[in-house]
A and B are shown apart, each in its own frame.
Chain A
Amino acid sequence: MDNKRIDQIIDKHRGEASSLIQILLDIQSENHWLPKEALGRVSEKLEVPLSRTMHIASFYKAFSLVPKGRHAVHICMGTACHVRGAKRILETVEELTGLKPGETDVEMKYSLETVNCLGCCALGPVIEINGKAHGKVSVSDTSGVLEHYK
C-alpha cells in the first residue's frame, strides 16, 4: 500500500487524531494487514507517537501485523458453537492445516483465526471462510469444507 492511498484515507477522516482507530481499520480492510511503513506514515501525519499507534494496532483484534493468506478461515468459538462441539472442529482444522489460530501457512493459502460469535447460532458449529458461513459442520465434514478453497 503506497503513501498516496494512506494519505487519502487519512484525509477522508479529516486528519483527526481521534480517528486513528478508524483510519487503521480502513487500511486493514483494504490491505488485509498493517505494514510497518503504513503505521509510520499514519503516526507522522496525525502527529501521534508511533508507540501509541503500535499500542492500538496490537491491542485490537481486528488488526494484523503480519500478512494474511488467500483464504481467511474463521472458526466460531461463540458459546452456542462451543456447546455444539466447536473445539473438536478447531482441533480438526488445526490438524489438517498444521496451523494454530493466528497463523498463516508458508504458501499463504490459509490464515486460521478463531472468532467469538458470528451471530448465526442456529447453524453452529460454524466455519466461515472468506465471509461465507458453513454451518452444522461435523468433524468428518471438515476436510471437505476446506478442500473447496484451493
Chain B
Amino acid sequence: MWFNTPEELEKFREELLSGRDPEKPCISICAGAGCLASGASEVIAAFKSEIETQTLEAAVDIKGTGCPGFCERGPVVVIYPEEICYLQVTPNDVAEIVSQTIKEKRVVERLLYVDSITGEKAIHEYDIPFYQNQERNVICNNIKIDSKRIDDYLAIGGYSALAKVLSRMSSEEVIEEVKKSSLRGRGGAGFPTGKKWEGSRNDPEKTKYVIVNADEGDPGAFMDRALLEGNPHSILEGLIIGGYAIGAREGYIYVRQEYPLAVVNINLAIRQAEEYGLLGENILGSGFDFVVRVHQGAGAFVCGESTALMTALEGRVGEPRPKYVRSNIKGLWDKPTVLNNVETWANIPLIINKGADWFTQIGTEGSKGTKIFSLVGKITNTGLVEIPMGLSLKDIIYKIGGGIPGGKKFKAVQTGGPSGGCIPGDQLDLKVGFDELARAGSMMGSGGMIVMDEDTCMVDVARYFIHFLTDESCGKCLPCREGLRQMDKILTNITEGKGKEGDIELLEVLSETAMEASLCALGKSAPNPFLSTLLYFRDEYEAHIREKRCPALYCKELINYYIDPEKCTACMICFTKCPDKAIDGAKKMIHIIDQEKCTNCGTCFEVCPSKFGAVEKISGKVVPESIPEEERMIVKPA
C-alpha cells in the first residue's frame, strides 16, 4: 500500500471503516508496562486460547493495547462495543468473561469497579470516578487501538492532520496555528512551542532537524512511555508536521533504552508509515521528503536536557553546552533544531485537526490544553491522569486519585521531578499550570506527581533527590559536581542523627552557588527539592538536628522499635520473623526487643497483626525499660 495523494489516504480510511463491523465484539487488554507487570501477557494468552477453543476467532477481535492509565487496578480489560470495563483480571476470569459477556452479553459483576464509599458498581470506563474527572484528549486513544497496527490508528482518523497540512496549509500557516494555540512544551520548561518553531523556520540555514525527546528520566514519571508504547503514530504524525513547518527533512526520536517496548513500537510505527508512503520521499504527493531515525539513550538522566541530548545524538558523552545561541538556531551538528517532548508532539495533530480555538478553550490564562500526570506514591489510585490545566491539586489527589490509602494524613505532593519541589497541604487549592506551580516554589516538570503522607520524612525526600542528582550530574560544572556531593553528605548526616547547628545555613549557601554557577537547568534547579522542603517543613529539619528526632518516624538511625507489653499477646510472629534474632520471648511470654541486637529493619513492625499493633516506633525519646521478668508471663483470667 502506498498513498500518492491525501485523497487516496481518505479512500483507504473509508474502505477500512466500511470493512469493520462496529458491533463486532472486541476484547481490549492493556499491554502497557504497569499491566504487564501485573500479569497482562498471561491474560492475553488466556483470551487467545479460550477464543480458539470456542472457535470464535472470526467473531471476536483481541487487542493488546496501550495504557489507559488506571495502573492501580491492572490488568485492565475493556469489552467493545459495550465498553464494559473489567479490572484486575486474571487468567482464571477469562473463561467466564468469554461465556458470559461475549456470548451471552451479560456483565460479570465481580470484575467491575466498586466505589469504596457508595458501594456502587461502574460498568463503563467513563462511569469510574478516576476517569470521570479527567479530560482525556491525548491519552484517550491508547485503549482503543492496537499500538502495533497502523490501520487501527488510521481508523480513528490518524494522519488526517498530516494530510490537511500537506495539502492545504503553508508552513507559515502551520506555525501560526501552533502559535495561536499557545501550546507550551510539555517536557518541563514550558517554552512556547510555536515561537521555538518560528525561530528555526526563519533561519536561512538549509539543513534543519526535528527531535522527539523521549528520554523520560524523572523517577516516578511514565507519561511519555505510555504514549510511545500505546500510540506511537500520534507522536510520529506530530513530528512529520513539525518537520514540514520548519523545513526539516530529518527527524530523530531519542528514546531511553530502559523502555524496550517503546523502542520496539516506535521502530515498528516508522516502518509502517514508510510502507504507506507517510514517511520517505514525496509524502502524499506534496513534494515534501522526510525520514525519521531512532536513537537509543544509554542511561544518563542529564541527556534529557536538550543540548546534552543533541551531543549524545552526535555520538559523544552527553554533556550540556552553553545556550548563548538557542538550539533552535544552532542545535544538532550546529544546525537549527527543534526539540520537543513526546507529549508536545502528540498534541500537534489535535491542534491541526480541531483548531487552535478549540485548544485554547481548555486551561488557564498562561497554560492551555491538557496535561498528563503520573500520580504515584501514597495514593489510592496510582496511574496516569490527563487533566485540563487549571484543575486544583486537591481535585487531582482526592477526586481522581481517591485520596491517601490506609486512613493516613496527607503531607505534601512533589511535582516536577528531581528539579521540582514539594507543595504542602495548606496549598492544595493551587491550580495546576506552569506559572502557578513555579510561584509555589515547585514546577510543572514533565508531569510526575508524587503524593506523600505523614509517614514520609521530608528531610529524607530532599536527601533522596539530591542523592539522585549527585549520581546523575555529568560532572562538567564544579558547583553541581562537588556542591551537590557536599549537600548529599550533610543531608545524609542529618537523617542519621549527625546533623549540627549551621548545617541548614551551609546547605543554603551551597544551593545558592549551584543555582548561580551551573551551566544547565539540571544544576541550576538541583537545590529545589531542598529549598522547597526547607520553606515548608523547616521544623522537620530542626527536629532532626536539635532533638535527633524524625517526626515522621522514618529515618532508621533516629528510631527504635519497642513492643508495648500492654498490647503484646505473645503470638510469636515477630519472634520467628526477626532476621537478627533480636526478639526475646516464648509462648505466653511477652516479647521484648533487645535494642543491642536490633538493626531497625522494621520486620516486627510490619508483621505484627494490625489487631494487636503492639510494635511501636519511637524517636527522640529513650526506649522504656523492659518490664520485669516476673511480669512477662501472660496468665489468662480464670
Interface residues of A (CB under 8 A from B): 16-22, 24-25, 52, 55-56, 59-63, 77-80, 82-84, 88, 91-92, 95, 115-124, 126, 133, 135, 138-140
Contact = CB atoms under 8 A, between A and B. Distances in A.
A35 B619 CA distance: 49
A121 B71 contact: yes
Contacts of B474: 59
Interface in B348-377: 374, 376-377
Contacts of B258: 115, 118
Interface in B415-473: 448, 450, 452, 456, 461, 464-465, 468
Contact of A59 (B217, B296, B317): B317
Nearest to B451: A83
A79 B34 contact: no
Contacts of A124: 376
A120 B34 CA distance: 4
B37 A24 contact: no
Contacts of A56: 298, 316-317
Given A18-B315, A59-B317, A61-B299, A83 B456 contact: yes
B487 interface: no
A62 B220 contact: no
Nearest to B578: A140
B222 A83 contact: no
Contacts of A133: 36-37
- Nearest first, the 3 A-B pairs at minimum CB distance are A61-B299, A60-B298, A119-B222
Given A60-B300, A88-B602, A79 B315 contact: no
A121 B33 CA distance: 10
A140 B603 contact: yes
14 contacts: A18-B313, A21-B295, A22-B295, A56-B317, A59-B474, A60-B317, A60-B318, A79-B220, A88-B602, A91-B601, A118-B258, A121-B71, A123-B37, A140-B577
Nearest to A82: B464
A96 B87 CA distance: 36
A135 B37 contact: yes
Contacts of A91: 601
Nearest to A139: B603
Given A122-B71, A140-B606, 9 more contacts: A17-B315, A61-B299, A77-B219, A79-B220, A120-B36, A122-B72, A122-B74, A123-B71, A139-B602
B382 interface: yes
Contact of B219 (A21, A55, A116, A140): A116
Which of A17, A61, A120, A140 counts the most chain B CB atoms within 10 A?
A120
B298 A21 contact: yes
Interface in B205-228: 217-222, 225
A24 B298 contact: yes
A138 B468 CA distance: 23
A20 B315 contact: yes
A121 B300 contact: no
Contacts of B34: 119-123
B535 interface: no
Contacts of A120: 33-34, 36-38, 71
A9 to B, nearest CB: 14
B219 A139 contact: no
A50 to B, nearest CB: 14
B143 interface: no
A22 to B, nearest CB: 6
A133 B219 CA distance: 17
A138 B259 CA distance: 26
A78 B315 contact: no
Contacts of A19: 315
Contact of A135 (B38, B378, B414): B38
Contacts of A20: 315-316
Nearest to A52: B316
Nearest to B312: A21
A84 B225 contact: no
A22 B298 CA distance: 8
B607 A140 contact: yes
A82 B554 CA distance: 12
Contacts of B217: 116
A83 B408 CA distance: 14
A128 B42 CA distance: 18
A140 B579 CA distance: 9
Contact of A62 (B36, B74, B257, B577): B257
B410 interface: no
A9 B21 CA distance: 46
A138 B606 contact: yes
Contacts of B382: 80, 121-122
Contacts of B296: 21-22, 25
Contacts of A123: 34, 37-38, 71
Contacts of A52: 316
Contacts of A118: 33, 37, 258
Contacts of A139: 601-603, 606
A77 B217 CA distance: 12
Contacts of B312: 21
A149 to B, nearest CB: 17
B82 interface: no
Contacts of A17: 315
Contacts of B71: 120-123
Nearest to B471: A116
B314 interface: yes
A68 to B, nearest CB: 15
Contact of A79 (B72, B225, B376): B376
A16 B606 CA distance: 55
B220 A78 contact: yes
Interface string B571-601: 0000001010000000000000000000001
Interface in B309-324: 312-318
B47 interface: no
A26 B605 CA distance: 46
B616 to A, nearest CB: 17
Interface in B530-560: none
B220 A80 contact: yes
A6 B71 CA distance: 40
A126 B579 CA distance: 21
B383 A122 contact: yes
B460 to A, nearest CB: 9
Contacts of B317: 55-56, 59-60
A17 to B, nearest CB: 6
B584 to A, nearest CB: 19
A89 B259 CA distance: 23
B244 interface: no
B374 A121 contact: yes
Contacts of B461: 83
